[in-house]
Structures are given as C-alpha cells and as structure tokens.
Amino acid sequence: MPEANIKPKVLIVEDDESSVFILSFLLEKQGFQVIWAADGSEGLEVARQAMPDLILLDLWLPRMDGYAVAQALRDMPLFAHVPILAVTSLPIMDDLGRALASGCNDYIEKPIDEHSLITKIKQHWPPHSTER
C-alpha cells in the first residue's frame, strides 16, 4: 500500500495487548510503521509527539474513552485531516454513530479481519486533503 521508501506511521490506541499484536503484525506486513498507546490520555500525548498518518482507536479505553480522544484530536488543527478508525468489539449502532459524531472516519470490528482492515485503510488513507 505505502511506497517502499516511505513508512507512514499508524498510531494504535488500544489497551488489549493481543489486539495490538494482531494489528501491528498486519500493518507492518503492509509497510506501515506502528506506534502504540495503552490508554486515551497516552494516545493524545503520543499523537502530539509522533504525528501519525493514521489512527486506530479503541472506543473503550481506560482513563479517557475513544470518543473523547477522537473529539480532542479533531479539536487540534494538526489532526483535522488525519484518518481515525474506531476499533470496536461491540458494533452497536448507537456507539458507531457516536464514534462518527466524535470525529472518527469509520470503524473496524474485532476480531480483526485482515481483509476488512486493509480495505478500510485503503478507503481512508492517504487522506484526501494534504493540509497538515
């Protein structure tokens, strides 16, 4: 997906280490550089420092949930066009609507399916706007 000499950064904000392992494996296989944060507050800090090209965001996180993280990221001009994909094991329509309203571009269901993950990433990356 990405060009061979360019490794875009994907930030995974996820508290479940097995999900992080699976996502990291699949993303690195596709040529992405992966960074990780274990909770919402850490996710905001890592995002500010690393400036990821794409964010995979669990909705149910300790300290600060994914909805609040997405909203906080969207409130920062630097992240206005960075794709945020919610990752959820409970794709309840109210939660998905809330995730989209909070600033997520789309969602990915757990358990992670490689084909679905790659399809969703291709739909949203690279972002349509180059402003950053």
Domain spans of the chain, in order of start: 9-124
Q: 90 vs 58, 59, 81, 85, CA distance in Å?
A: 11, 9, 26, 14
In order along its 132 residues, the chain shows pLDDT tens digits of: 665 567 899 999 999 999 999 999 999 999 999 999 999 999 999 999 999 999 999 999 999 999 999 999 999 999 999 999 999 887 676 778 899 999 999 999 889 999 999 999 999 988 754 444
Cis peptide bond prior to 111, omega within 30° of 0 = yes
Task: Tell whether domain 9-124 is in CATH 3.40.50.740.
Answer: no
